[in-house]
Structure 1
Amino acid sequence: MRCGVGESPVWHAAEAALYWTDIPGRTLWRYDPGSGQTDHWSLPEMAGCMAMTPDGGWLLAMETGLFRVARLVPGQATPPLQRVATVAHARAGMRFNDGRADRQGRFWAGTMVMDMSLAAPDGKLYRHDPVTGALDVMRDGLITPNGLAFSPDGRTMYLSDSHPARQAVWAYDYDTDTGTPSTPRLFIDMTRYPGRPDGAAVDADGGYWICGNDAGQIHRFTPDGRLDRSLAVPVAKPAMCAFGGAGLDTLYVTSIRTDDTDPLSGAVFALQPGVRGLEEPMLRA
């Protein structure tokens, strides 16, 4: 399969399967590396990111808000979606983009103007508490929010803006009790490295892995912001990465389809980076 924009890969440890979304294709995908089977489900809106729920389902950040969907069963149709929250975007033509759960089970996701040529800073970063149902704006003025990740102890939050006009990754102190980021500081100036900062993951040692979109590379930065290594993928536009596999030692990378001259663009790749990742948090009940 080839996605238009493959995003938000999440390793489901209980199922030993990888899930991800094709944003413009309005499709959720599932891959079982044990059997080699691939399944997919259609969605009524574009989904930018998702997180696992305790009942075996998913929370999806889509075009108009957040939606819950029950456990997806291979071979069966998409279950009905339940709207959890509605978002009043600043303008037309916006949707959710990158996001994930923090280590305490809150959901974070950013919005963007889909026409990136406008360079419109109307994107916002939202925090959703699944227990109270609250959906709060935690940062505004973003163009293309991306790279959201949390350190192994949960006390550092990372956020990037991947638009060509920004190309920066920030680190925040993160209060794990209240879910509040503070003291933002520039973590990586990506204009110094190949590619724009896209989706990211953190390994068990605290290394921050970020896709270098347009450069066909995945970069690992140490917790103090030093470039440690770069891995190549055979496409120009890697979009987001996630650790998975039985030992959490496989780095799965989704990508963006460019054109038919690159038959691998839009595919999902599996790398062996030589480090272990962390199990993706589940939303709290």
Structure 2
Amino acid sequence: MNTQDLGQTAVQTLCDVRNRVGESPLWSPAEQALYWVDIEARRLHRHDWQTREAQHWELPERIGCIALHASGGLVAGMETGIYRLRPQRRGQIEVVPLHQITFSQPGMRFNDGRCDRAGRLWLSSMVMDMSQASPAGVLYRYDRRGLVPMVDGLITGNGLAFSPDGRTLYLSDSHPSVRRVWAFDLDAEGNLSNRREFIDMNQHPGRPDGAAVDVHGGYWICGNDAGQVHRFTPQGELARSIGLPVSKPAMCSFGGPDMRHLFITSIPPAQPADGFDAALDGAVFVTEPGLRGLPETPFRA
């Protein structure tokens, strides 16, 4: 690991991998390993915490997000649907379709996603060409009842996270024309109500990309384009920011042996950004922010 000491918080690179679009960092407590995806490279990555061994698997299409599966392996949102993934040795991976989807227009895929505290999978979709600013994106819920649209009108749905008690769902739209985070009440059956603005990121540095929640209910959100990760209180007040050596942090999640590490994926900008280290663009970073996170709940079919 190469240390970057930025302000009061030390940030390190996890490994030598540089992603084209690094997303969906996911800690596996059973394996003591971090998984993440490179969307544009169509790759699933894994880093073993003890051995520092890095592996990756090639996939047949873009993969936007992953979650643990209660029966082993992973569940993933990809270009054409939701899939069960079983990574194996020597770069082989079993890809099993769970639910196929036809999006409302061409050029769409699943983007951000994770499971709520009850093991239901939530995923957002988006038009891959963000310059279209198309509000065709939808937040879906996937469980034994199938794939159900829950929130529509999204351009670039992101920021999915859940409060420690599982009663609040957070959702952002990271498109430059929106830059907002909303909170919803989430009931025991997976229904949403009481949508309200939680954070107007136009008042803070960066676009609201991927997110995570700590044990105290703090909401951590990547400030894409600003090279920062912000922590907001459950009341939506900015509590702190962590600076990064790259401009485009994409998604964060908690993990490590005692859930005290925060992992952050990143994306290379279209043009090198002033004041940042281009050699680290696309890297996965790890830091210890002084607060613990919660293990991700596996998907329960």
> Is residue 2:286 matched to residue 1:275?
no
Aligned to 1:62: 78
- Of the candidates 190, 214, 228, which is equivalent to residue 217 of structure 1? 228
Aligned to 1:162: 174
User: Which whole-Å deviations, capped at 9, do the CAs of 1:52-107 have from their partners, x for residues lacking one?
Assistant: 1122111110001111122x23434112x111112121111111000100100000
TM-score normalized with structure 2 length: 0.91
Aligned to 2:163: 151
Aligned to 1:236: 247
Structure 2 unmatched ranges of 5 or more: 1-16, 273-277
Aligned to 1:173: 185
Aligned to 2:279: 263
* Contact map agreement 1:146 1:160 (CA 8 A) in 2: yes
Q: How far apart, CA to CA, are the structure 2 residues paired with 1:141 and 1:259? A: 27
Aligned to 2:141: 127
What is the DSSP-based 3-state SS (H/G/I as helix, E as strand, rest coil) of the residue aligned with 1:247?
A: coil
User: Which whole-Å deviations, capped at 9, do the CAs of 1:194-229 have from their partners, x for residues lacking one?
Assistant: 000000000001000000000000000000000000
Moved more, 226-235 or 46-55: 46-55
> Is residue 2:102 matched to residue 1:88?
yes
> Is residue 2:247 matched to residue 1:247?
no
Large movers: runs of 4+ above 4 Å: none
Q: How many residues align?
A: 280
Q: How far apart, CA to CA, are the structure 1 residues paired with 2:60 and 2:231? A: 35
* Contact map agreement 1:143 1:163 (CA 8 A) in 2: yes
* Contact map agreement 2:113 2:121 (CA 8 A) in 1: yes
> Is residue 2:90 matched to residue 1:75?
yes
RMSD across aligned positions (CA): 1.1
> Is residue 2:126 matched to residue 1:112?
yes
Q: How far apart, CA to CA, are the structure 1 residues paired with 2:281 and 2:35? A: 18
Q: How far apart, CA to CA, are the structure 1 residues paired with 2:287 and 2:105? A: 39
What is the DSSP-based 3-state SS (H/G/I as helix, E as strand, rest coil) of the residue aligned with 1:153?
A: coil
Q: How far apart, CA to CA, are the structure 1 residues paired with 2:183 and 2:250? A: 20
Query: 1:260 and 1:164, CA in 2 relative to 1: closer, same or farther beyond 3 A?
Result: closer
Aligned to 2:12: none
Q: How far apart, CA to CA, are the structure 2 residues paired with 1:149 and 1:54? A: 19
Q: How far apart, CA to CA, are the structure 1 residues paired with 2:201 and 2:103? A: 28
User: Which whole-Å deviations, capped at 9, do the CAs of 1:3-36 have from their partners, x for residues lacking one?
Assistant: 1110011000000000000000000000112111
What is the DSSP-based 3-state SS (H/G/I as helix, E as strand, rest coil) of the residue aligned with 1:263?
A: helix
Moved more, 83-92 or 273-282: 83-92
TM-score normalized with structure 1 length: 0.96
What is the DSSP-based 3-state SS (H/G/I as helix, E as strand, rest coil) of the residue aligned with 2:279?
A: coil
- Of the candidates 38, 51, 56, which is equivalent to residue 35 of structure 1? 51
Q: Identity, % of aligned pairs?
A: 55
Q: How far apart, CA to CA, are the structure 2 residues paired with 1:221 and 1:250? A: 17
Q: How far apart, CA to CA, are the structure 1 residues paired with 2:49 and 2:286? A: 10
Structure 1 unmatched ranges of 5 or more: none
* Contact map agreement 1:259 1:265 (CA 8 A) in 2: no
Aligned to 2:63: 47
- Of the candidates 8, 20, 23, which is equivalent to residue 39 of structure 2? 23
